Structure formats: structure tokens, C-alpha cells
Chains A and B, each alone.
Chain A
Amino acid sequence: MQEIILERVNKIYQVENKSFYALCDVSLSIKKGEIVTVLGPSGSGKTTLLNVVSGLDRVSSGAIYYDEKNIVKFSDRHLTNHRRLKSGFIFQNYNLLEYLNVKENILIGSYVAQNKIDIADLINVVGLEKHQTKSVYQLSGGEQQRVSIARAVAKNPEVLFCDEPTGALDEEMGKNVLDKLVEINEKMGTTIILVTHNPGIAEIGDRVIKMNSGKIFSDEINKRKNPHDIEWA
């Protein structure tokens, strides 16, 4: 994958017969291997941006190009296949399968991959080797998020979409999780798009995109900071 390009993307919701722009005329491009952080207050449109770029949600108008293919025009089936091959997801609330243990939760990600990576290595990378047969409810929040990261990475995605991945964690756990994400980006060259409302966390990115009211009002190159050096707001 070379880059992701968004051209004049709009996402409109109808609320009581009024149009509400969750995304308004958004255009941007993301290069392979970049860590892009999207910063903004609640309701600014950052999660909506993440959802439409990842193909979880449809746009109202505009185009989103992956390798020059406009995914806006993809059918649901095609879009599923696109996610299957190219995308990994990390959510604030982990979304783990509660009936499965740690290892099985990671395997569920690996199972659909074309370029599988070694699960045992991955478990070591995320530091869960002692917990792999445990049920997920037995883990702490940070550990659960690491399972979620491992699951996302298990299929070796080109892009990792992270929606407030540390939102439910304390500083120490949060920084550890971010460290793992950066490590994965450096080792595997995975593009990461990370949404956050925490300005400190945004500092781990190569670019920081700031949003408000569904619009990008700043898109700046940033010098990456080590996650352990950032200020935790």
C-alpha cells in the first residue's frame, strides 16, 4: 500500500429533520508506515473519521482511496474483504470475545489473515505469555487491551486503526500499550491511525491532525516522542 487518500469526504446525519455534519469536506492523505494521530474534543468527528477511513462506516459523499481504489464504491462484501486483508482495529473497550481465552482471542484475528504472523512471538511481544490460557475477564484492563492489540496485529494488517486505545487505562498501563503500538509500527512497518482526545498521546505520531466540528483545522508534521516520555493528560 502506498497511501490512503481522502477527497472531500462528508458524513451527514439527519437529526430531527436537520442535517448534522459529522465530517465536513475532509481531505487528507496518509503515507505507508506513518503513525497519524487524530486529536480533538468529544464530538469533533475524529471517531467518525476513523470509522469511514477503516470502512466500518459509509460516507455521505467524497472518496477514500486505498492503492488508488475508491473504497466508497465497494460493496459490503468487497468492503469486508478489504478489512480482512488490510485493517486491524483496536477499540477503547477492547471488544474481546468473552467465551474465549487469551490465546483464542488472538487466534480469531489470525484465522482470517493471509500473511499470518507467529502467534507465540506475538504473545511474547505483547507480554501475555503467562496469561494465554486465562479467560479474558481474569485480566486487568491494560492486559485486555494488549490482547486486543495482539488480535489486531495477528493478521499482519497494513493499517492499524486505534480508537482511544488507552481511554480506559491508567497512565502506566496506557503508556505500555502505546509502547507496544510504536514497537509494532517500527518492527512491522504497520501504518497506525490513532484517535485520541489526549494531546500528550498525540505526540507519539509522525503527524498530528486536529479536528473540531467535523473539520480538520490543522495537520502538522510531528517529531515522534517515546510513549514513556509524553505528558499524560
Chain B
Amino acid sequence: MSLLFLNALKGLWQKKIQIIAIILLLAIATTLYVATNAAVSRVEEGYYDYLVEQNVEHFSFVPTLEKIDIDDLDLLDDKDLTDDEALTVQQARLCLPDDCDSQTMLFLRSIFSRYNLQVYLNKEEIDEIADEYGFIYELTKSKLRTDGNKYYKAVPYDEDRLINKPYLVSGDFPKADNEVAILSNYAQVNDLAIGDEYEVNEQKYEIVGTMFLSDYIYPIMTISTPFFDEENNNIFLMNEATYEKFSGTESKLFSARLDEEYEFRNRSYRKGPIFGEEGIMSEEAISMNTENFIRLMRVDTIQADIEPNKIFTNAFVNVLLAISAVIILIIVKKRIENEKNQVGILKAIGYSASAIASSYLVYPLIGVLFGCVLGYFAGVFLSEPLISVYVSYYNLPLPDYQITWEYFSRIFLLPLGLLAIVSFAVAFLMVKKPPLFLLKEGSNLKVNFLARSVNKILRRAAFRTRFKYSLAFRSFGKLLIVSLVSLFSGLLITLFMIGNGLFTEILDQTFGNMKFDHIVSYNTFLDDEAEEDDLFLNFENNISKMVAADGTEIDFEEEITVTLSGVDTPQYMKIVDEEENDLVPKLGDENIIISYRLAELNNLNKDDRLYFEINDEEHKFIIAGIYQDYFARTVFVDREYLSSLYGFEETVYNVKYSVDDKYRDTGAIDEDELDKIEGIFSIRELEENIKSEIEAFDYVIYIITTFAAVMAFIIMLVIANVIVEENRKNISLMKVLGYKNREIGDIILNIYTPFIIFAYLISIPIMINLVKFILDYLAEDIGFVIPVQISIFQGVVGLIAILIAYYLGIGFSRRVLNKISLSEALKRE
């Protein structure tokens, strides 16, 4: 037995290219798995423990503005109301609770919202809801201040808090006035230490601690900065008195935690009654606004990030492992074919089939021993930069890196087991034949039906053509192997091309259509015509029904909330389709333009219809175009028409897209307008913020897809080597007969080229549809759709790459072959 192993091991040395390829394939698969998993699993473990230990909120809410009582108007008594606001309040005192028109109520709600009074509404009803659904809640407040591209958020520290307890990294929590505890990441990046003086808005504070805020795991500061910038974004805790003095825009809402032990890991609380079909949105006393959704993102994003990463990593590694198994299968099969006589002799002298087959386990053993170990260390090395990319996104303590049994078995035992089973099975099936059969000269080939048919079809063709194709088709198995392997390689190369620079391209397209600098939203409806800006009338609304152009209703399970945006002729916002055609002229009564994201997620097409409930009436809109935006949930309609539907006599707006520099600095805005502004959203800041973070995503995808391309390359080298090896005798013979290298190439080695090209061409649509399927599946979680396509140029480049790999493999293998003398090569094996 040990001699058989020794024999197999020595034989292995003769097939250096093949074993090196197996080692590299396993090393790449293991590297990817270890690198991504070491990062993901550490973050994941830390995350779930943290949610429980810090009592992180399950959700947050605000009291609804739908239920403003006449008594609630007293809350506005001490506010410095404008004349319009005072008039509205006066009207409301006369018409509340039941007789107010919709316009008065709209204004009244915007006043409550503007003065941050929402949290004082509906107290009793909220308590009833909390009892019914079993949750506790407490007030959460913060103040946001911006200074250029720097964002500061002040949060009052209360050691008796039940929900969202802050996590102290070092030092102490602030007790005295003007003491602060700041974000740990911010302190690190900005080189701040405990005891340092820290100045914001000309007010000096003393840093007494560094911490994480448990409701800011993914610390989105505002909707303008969806990605955390650890250098410029800081959150600090301070005592209540210091907080009161801090100057900034205040936000107040309620954080809630369900009484029962809901599992964060599978988000079971989201399936609970309050998030069920009847949903929190339908409760009359409480609702969720944009800030509440942002808060969900702060806690949830990490999970939405981890899950697809885990799925992708595992799936991708399994694919790589499967490819390695197929390659091992091919190599073992070819090797036994070459050693058929030797195996026959071993069987003739009494070795059992299983003993001989076992000797071929050297392939998986050597592959795993070298490949997986190499891959493990490379993965650990690569995981460090990946972890730092992850950690820079999230604010939470991380456990130390540990090798678990599951981890060990996934890295070493699974590949070893799988590859060993494949190797043994194929070897056993081949060597179990009787010794005389194995000792017989030749391969006992029969001319199959396919070969006969090809011969008939090509009977009038030149000899060379007939020769090539009859040679190719006589071994259908070989043809299948070459085609399958080329298909695998094509899939990996296509993946590389799809993934390369994908996000950057999407962002360039999306932001390329936005020529404005700021989105200014107002807390009231304006009717002046500011011609230098683009004006919009925006309402959040739910799609109530979707009907296809042929009249069949389109099913949708979850509520689809969109921003219904009234627009007329924007100068700075390009609303264009795939071919860059301006879609705005298509807007008219009942016409609607939807985003690519909405269309893709819901299979909507031009001429389909969307229905919205506006002022208790259902209105139909016909889709007149689909504009190129992969993130937006905004749909555009004619502004004048939308104003009339909401009951405005004139064309009004509540959002403005502007290039005016004054919106960079709130001090430059006149007081009257400032009073009406609800928020200013810097589109350039958003672009910069997203792009800087997306670069990291692109980097990760680039690494993964480059590995895929390298694997494709290795696979093609292996298959080329196998082809040369198994034609070794034929090549030598043809050289003896006087065939030139070019002729041998044409007749023997290049016969698979058409099949490689064909397999590659098939692989493109397969991979595109596969990636599309996965991304569509993930689109709901990641919040945007990704267009999956490759250009003809990319397709051609991929084809050239795959052929280069193949011919390089052939060239390399032939160089080795050329070193063997012809007389030696033709000796009986």
C-alpha cells in the first residue's frame, strides 16, 4: 500500500503543472473564505452580543400628526409663530377636531413638526398601544450641528436609561458640565485622548471618555451622509445641562424595546404584530418618519451587510471547491487512462481495486495540505485590511479572532473530504475493470454515433477538417470536459467583468444626472416661482395598486412607499432613460415616470399603471418612461396636476433643487426662508460620501473577481496541459512523421478552440442572469438595484483572455514535451 502511494507520489512529480494548479485553486478558495469570513464572523459575533447587552431598541416611532387635538394647540402658545402660522392655528381652533379642510391640516401638521412638538401628542393612546403590543419606550433626543463637512451630534447622557445604553471604551461617562465622551473611532483617527480639550462652535469641552453609542452602530449622521466618515463625524455624550446649552437642530422621538425576548438574529420582532400586516404605520396614534427609518438602518445595516456577504462568500467558495473537484476528477481520470497498463499489471499481481484507487488520494492530500494551508495564511493576512474596512463602517466592540471547529472543518476537512471522495470514486470506477481489459493496448474506443454523424456531414470536406472534427467528436467525454471547463472559466471571467468598477459606474451614472448642489425641503408649501431653481412638490405615498398594460393586476406583497414628486421643467435634474432621452416632455395629466429601481424590483414596464390614494380617492397614473436611477424611490408626475389632486388652487412646491451657494451656509439664508426650511441636503456631499465608501466596496469586489479571473486562467492552463499530455504520443508521432509545430497545433491542439469559444459565449448570458437573479433577490435588502451587463468590447476582451490562457497553457506544456526525445516519447508505455 505504501509503495503504491510512493508510486503515485513520484508520478505526481511528472505532472507538476496539474498539481500546482490544484494547489493554487484550493489556495485561492481558502484565501477568499478565510479573508472574508474572518472579517464577517468577528463583526457578526460582536454585533449580536452587543444588541443584547446594551438593550438596543427594536424600533423607534413618533406620535402621529394625524391626531391633533384642540388641546394640543396649547403646546404652540409659547412659540414664536409667523403670521401665517398664527392664522392657521386660529383657524384650527375653530374647526378641530372634525371640520378642518385638508389644506389647514397639512399646514398645522407642518407647524407641529417644525417646532418639534410631535413627541408630546397622543400620550394616552401610545401607552395603550405599548400595553397591547408589549413594549417599553423612552424619549431619545439629540442635536445635530454641521460645520462645513463636519457633523457633530450631541446626545444627553442618562445613566438610568433602559434602552440604547452607551458602551464605554475608555475613561468615564460625562457627569460634570462641559465634560464629553466622544466616539472611539473619531478619537483614534483625530488623535484625541482622554483629558484633551475639544472645541465645537467656540465652546470648549473636556474629553473624559471614549464610547460607542448602541443606537449608532452604523452611525448615519443625517440622510445626506449615509456612510460614516470617522474623521469628520462625531457624536458626543454630555450631561443634560451641557446638552441644553448645545446649539443645533434637535430631533426627538421614542425608542422602543419589546418586552418579550425577540431574537435579533432572525429579526423575529419584525414579524411580531406591531410590524405585521396591520403594521405600525396603520396605528392611528404612532407612526414612523424618515428619522425612524434611518434609526432602523443604523441598527440593521450591519446585518444586511453581513448576510449577503456570508451567503456570497459561502456560495462562491463552494463554487470554487466544486470547480477544484471537477479539475481533480479530470486529472485523476486522465492519469489512470495514461497508466492503464500499469494499473492492469498491479491488478494482475493481486492488488485490489480499492488499494490502487486509494493511492490516487495523493492529489487531494497534497492539494489540501499545501493549498489550504497556504490559503489559510494568505487569508489571515488579507483579512486584516478587510476587517479594518468593515470596522470603519461600524461602531461596536469586536471579539478576538478565533479558530472554531466549524471554521477548521470548513477550511480543511470539507475540501479534503470532498476531493478525496471524488478522487477515490473516479479512480475506483476506472480501476475496478478486469486486469486483461486494462492491459489491452489502446483505449477500446468505439466510434460513437456523434462521430459517425460528423464524419458523414464532413465527408466532402478537406482531410484536415475531417481529421480535426472526427478527432474532437470521437471522445465525447473529453469534448464535454473541455466545454464544461471553458464554461466555468467563462463564468468566472464574466463575473470579473461584471464586478469590475460596477458601483463606481452606477454612481457616475446616477450623480451625472444631478447637476444641482442642494435639495432644500420646506416645512410648508410655497407658491412663489423661483425660476433659477428646480421646484418640486413631494409627498410620500403608497402605491395602492399596480396594473400591467394588458389589464392584469400585478401582485405585490409588501407596501411600496414612493416619493410622489410633482415636477415641471427641471434645469438641473436630468430625468432621462437608458438612451439618454429626456423623459420630462412625456409628463402630462395621469402620466408618471418611475425609476429603474422601482421598475426592476416590481417588474414594471412602460404603459403599466400605478394607483395612488390621494385625498381619499384612488388616482391612476400611466408609466410614460423609466429613468436611469438605481437608488431612487421617487416617481415623477406633472406638478400642476399633482397640486390640483392635493387640493391646492395654485401650483405649489415644498422641495427645491438649487445650485445657489447660499445653501452651503445657513447664515447666508434670509430669516424668512430659514424659518420655512425643514432640511438642506447637500447632493455633492452625498456623492462624495458615497463614492469614498463605494471605492472600498469596489476594492473588495475587485479582489474577489480578480481571484475569479486568476482561477479561470489556472483552469484553462490545466485543461490545456491535460490536452497536451494526453496527446503526447500523438504529437510525438506526428513530429516523427514530419509534421510541423503549426500543423500539429492545427490538427490536434486547436481542435477544441471552437468549443472553447462556444462555451465562453454561452457562459456570458448564464453568468449575467445568475448575478441578476442574486442581486434582484438582495435588492430589497441593499436598497438599490444594480444593472448587470457587459459591453461587446468587454466580451471580446474576455474571449481573448480565455484563449490566451489556453494557448499559453498549450505552449507551456509543449515546451516541457519538446524536451523529451521523440524516440523516448514513442516507446511503449
Chain B 463-495 near chain A by CB (<8 Å), digits 1 or 0:
110110011001100000000000000000000
Interface positions of A from 49 to 85, Cβ below 8 Å from B: 51, 56-58, 77, 80-85
Chain B 787-829 near chain A by CB (<8 Å), digits 1 or 0:
0000000000000000000000000000000000111001110
- The segment from B92-100, B272-280, B738-746 that touches chain A is B738-746
**B475 surroundings in chain A (CB, below 8 A):** 99
Asked if B467 contacts A57 (CB within 8 A), the reply is no
Asked if B447 contacts A97 (CB within 8 A), the reply is no
**A56 surroundings in chain B (CB, below 8 A):** 736, 821-823
Asked if A108 contacts B467 (CB within 8 A), the reply is yes
> B542 within 8 Å of A by Cβ?
no
Asked if B736 contacts A89 (CB within 8 A), the reply is yes
Q: Known: A80-B740, A135-B446. Contact between A97 and B733, CB under 8 A?
A: yes
Q: Which of B447, B466, B737 contacts A109 (CB 8 A)?
A: B737
Tell me the complex Cα distance, A98–B440, Å. 13
| Minimal beta-carbon separation of A85 from chain B (angstroms) | 7
Tell me the complex Cα distance, A112–B733, Å. 13
**A107 surroundings in chain B (CB, below 8 A):** 463, 467
Question: Which size bracket describes the interface of B in this complex?
Answer: 20 to 34
| Minimal beta-carbon separation of B740 from chain A (angstroms) | 6
A92 nearest CB neighbor, chain B only: B828
> A87 within 8 Å of B by Cβ?
yes
Q: Which of A81, A100, A155 contacts B471 (CB 8 A)?
A: A100
Tell me the complex Cα distance, A2–B28, Å. 62
Asked if B447 contacts A101 (CB within 8 A), the reply is yes
Q: Which of A77, A108, A135 contacts B734 (CB 8 A)?
A: A108
Asked if B737 contacts A108 (CB within 8 A), the reply is yes
**6 residue pairs, one from A and one from B, having the closest CB atoms:** A84-B738, A137-B442, A83-B738, A93-B828, A51-B823, A99-B474
Chain A 89-106 near chain B by CB (<8 Å), digits 1 or 0:
101110101111100100
**A77 surroundings in chain B (CB, below 8 A):** 740
Q: Known: A77-B740, A80-B739. Contact between A111 and B464, CB under 8 A?
A: yes
**B440 surroundings in chain A (CB, below 8 A):** 137
Tell me the complex Cα distance, A220–B221, Å. 104
Asked if A104 contacts B737 (CB within 8 A), the reply is no
| Minimal beta-carbon separation of A122 from chain B (angstroms) | 15
Asked if A111 contacts B471 (CB within 8 A), the reply is no
Tell me the complex Cα distance, A77–B729, Å. 19
Chain A 198-211 near chain B by CB (<8 Å), digits 1 or 0:
00000000000000
Asked if A83 contacts B445 (CB within 8 A), the reply is no
> B552 within 8 Å of A by Cβ?
no
Asked if B467 contacts A80 (CB within 8 A), the reply is no
Asked if B743 contacts A112 (CB within 8 A), the reply is yes
Tell me the complex Cα distance, A93–B821, Å. 17
Tell me the complex Cα distance, A112–B440, Å. 30
Asked if B445 contacts A99 (CB within 8 A), the reply is yes
Asked if B739 contacts A84 (CB within 8 A), the reply is yes
Most A-side CB within 10 Å, residue of B467, B471, B743: B467
B444 nearest CB neighbor, chain A only: A137
| Minimal beta-carbon separation of B419 from chain A (angstroms) | 30
Q: Which of B444, B736, B741 contacts A83 (CB 8 A)?
A: B736
> A126 within 8 Å of B by Cβ?
no
Given A98-B443, A112-B739, 8 more pairs with CB closer than 8 A: A57-B822, A80-B738, A80-B740, A83-B738, A99-B475, A112-B737, A137-B442, A155-B737
Interface positions of B from 648 to 707, Cβ below 8 Å from A: none
Tell me the complex Cα distance, A58–B819, Å. 12
> A136 within 8 Å of B by Cβ?
yes
Asked if B445 contacts A81 (CB within 8 A), the reply is no
Tell me the complex Cα distance, A100–B440, Å. 18
- B positions within 8 Å CB-CB of A: 440-447, 463-464, 466-467, 470-471, 474-475, 729-730, 733-741, 743, 821-823, 826-828
> A196 within 8 Å of B by Cβ?
no
Tell me the complex Cα distance, A51–B826, Å. 11
Q: Which of A95, A98, A109 contacts B826 (CB 8 A)?
A: A95
Asked if B730 contacts A97 (CB within 8 A), the reply is yes
Asked if B445 contacts A98 (CB within 8 A), the reply is yes
Question: Which size bracket describes the interface of A in this complex?
Answer: 20 to 34
Q: Known: A85-B738, A100-B467, A135-B447. Contact between A47 and B823, CB under 8 A?
A: yes
Tell me the complex Cα distance, A136–B441, Å. 10
| Minimal beta-carbon separation of A89 from chain B (angstroms) | 5
| Minimal beta-carbon separation of A60 from chain B (angstroms) | 13
| Minimal beta-carbon separation of B444 from chain A (angstroms) | 6
Tell me the complex Cα distance, A81–B447, Å. 33
| Minimal beta-carbon separation of A187 from chain B (angstroms) | 21
Asked if A91 contacts B826 (CB within 8 A), the reply is yes
| Minimal beta-carbon separation of A206 from chain B (angstroms) | 25
| Minimal beta-carbon separation of A110 from chain B (angstroms) | 8
**B463 surroundings in chain A (CB, below 8 A):** 107, 111
Asked if B470 contacts A84 (CB within 8 A), the reply is no
**B738 surroundings in chain A (CB, below 8 A):** 80-85, 87, 112, 155
A82 nearest CB neighbor, chain B only: B738
Q: Which of A92, A108, A111, A137 contacts B443 (CB 8 A)?
A: A137
A-B contact pairs, 23 of them (CB 8 A): A57-B823, A80-B738, A81-B738, A83-B737, A84-B737, A85-B738, A89-B736, A92-B828, A93-B441, A93-B828, A95-B733, A95-B826, A97-B471, A98-B442, A104-B466, A104-B467, A107-B463, A107-B467, A112-B738, A112-B739, A135-B445, A137-B444, A151-B737
A139 nearest CB neighbor, chain B only: B442
**A100 surroundings in chain B (CB, below 8 A):** 467, 470-471, 474
Tell me the complex Cα distance, A151–B446, Å. 21
**A47 surroundings in chain B (CB, below 8 A):** 823
Tell me the complex Cα distance, A136–B443, Å. 10
Chain A 134-159 near chain B by CB (<8 Å), digits 1 or 0:
01110000000000000100010000
Asked if B739 contacts A136 (CB within 8 A), the reply is no
A91 nearest CB neighbor, chain B only: B826
**B441 surroundings in chain A (CB, below 8 A):** 93, 137
Asked if B442 contacts A136 (CB within 8 A), the reply is yes
**B822 surroundings in chain A (CB, below 8 A):** 51, 56-57
**B471 surroundings in chain A (CB, below 8 A):** 97, 99-100
**A83 surroundings in chain B (CB, below 8 A):** 735-738
Tell me the complex Cα distance, A8–B204, Å. 102
**B464 surroundings in chain A (CB, below 8 A):** 111
Tell me the complex Cα distance, A133–B171, Å. 91
Most A-side CB within 10 Å, residue of B464, B730, B741, B823: B823
B466 nearest CB neighbor, chain A only: A104
Chain A 33-56 near chain B by CB (<8 Å), digits 1 or 0:
000000000000001000100001
**B467 surroundings in chain A (CB, below 8 A):** 100, 104, 107-108, 111
| Minimal beta-carbon separation of A135 from chain B (angstroms) | 6
Tell me the complex Cα distance, A151–B739, Å. 13
Most B-side CB within 10 Å, residue of A56, A92, A109: A56
Most A-side CB within 10 Å, residue of B734, B740, B822: B822
Tell me the complex Cα distance, A99–B822, Å. 21
**B743 surroundings in chain A (CB, below 8 A):** 112
| Minimal beta-carbon separation of B732 from chain A (angstroms) | 8
Asked if A57 contacts B733 (CB within 8 A), the reply is no
**B447 surroundings in chain A (CB, below 8 A):** 101, 135
Tell me the complex Cα distance, A91–B443, Å. 19
**A137 surroundings in chain B (CB, below 8 A):** 440-445
Tell me the complex Cα distance, A91–B736, Å. 11
**A99 surroundings in chain B (CB, below 8 A):** 445, 470-471, 474-475
**A84 surroundings in chain B (CB, below 8 A):** 737-740
B824 nearest CB neighbor, chain A only: A57
Asked if A104 contacts B470 (CB within 8 A), the reply is yes
B467 nearest CB neighbor, chain A only: A104
Most B-side CB within 10 Å, residue of A85, A87, A111: A111
Tell me the complex Cα distance, A64–B299, Å. 86
Tell me the complex Cα distance, A47–B827, Å. 11
Tell me the complex Cα distance, A212–B727, Å. 35
**B443 surroundings in chain A (CB, below 8 A):** 98, 137
Tell me the complex Cα distance, A57–B824, Å. 9
| Minimal beta-carbon separation of A86 from chain B (angstroms) | 8
